[in-house]
Amino acid sequence: MLPKNRKPTIPGEILLEEFLMPLEISQTDFVEHLGKSWTQPKLNAIIRGKRSITVPIALDFADALGTTPEFWINLQNNVNLWEEIRKRKKVRMLPKLQRKRKKSLKRS
């Protein structure tokens, strides 16, 4: 469930505070462990919330940290959904569904 009064914690903050810091792994060491497709700026952008978790990133984190890719994707999806909810104009419910809902509420 999404928090109502605050933005969900970004995946990069979880990575830093729940994995790297407790394991005493520097960002530099983590980048080196992840391999050639990784750079310090790329990891730092994720940690600062300037870059989103993609499927390949989620797979790398899951492999390196013993989690699942779904864990990382779900964290990112929560942030994305929270941001979209706050910036979009809500679409009205279909009138037929509104009538059905009103009828079912009257029966209760």
pLDDT, one tens digit per residue, over 45-94 is 999 999 999 999 999 999 999 999 999 999 999 999 999 998 988 888 88
> How high is the pLDDT of residue 108?
64
On whether residue 55 sits in a domain, the answer given is yes
- Asked whether residue 20 is domain-assigned, the answer is yes
Q: How far apart are the first and last CA of the chain?
A: 26
Q: Please indicate, yes or no, if residue 1 is contained in any of the structural domains.
A: no
Length of the chain: 108
Q: Which domain holds residue 29?
A: 11-107
More confident residue, 11 or 100: 11
Which of these, 62, 70, 64, lies nearest to 25 by C-alpha position?
64
Please report, as a single letter, which amino acid is at residue 104. Answer: S
User: For position 106, what pLDDT does the model report?
Assistant: 76
pTM of the entire structure?
0.83
* HSE toward the beta carbon, residue 39, CA cutoff 13 A: 4
CA angle (98 as vertex; 78, 92 as ends), nearest 5? 50
User: In one letter, which amino acid is 95?
Assistant: P
Q: Is residue 17 part of a domain?
A: yes
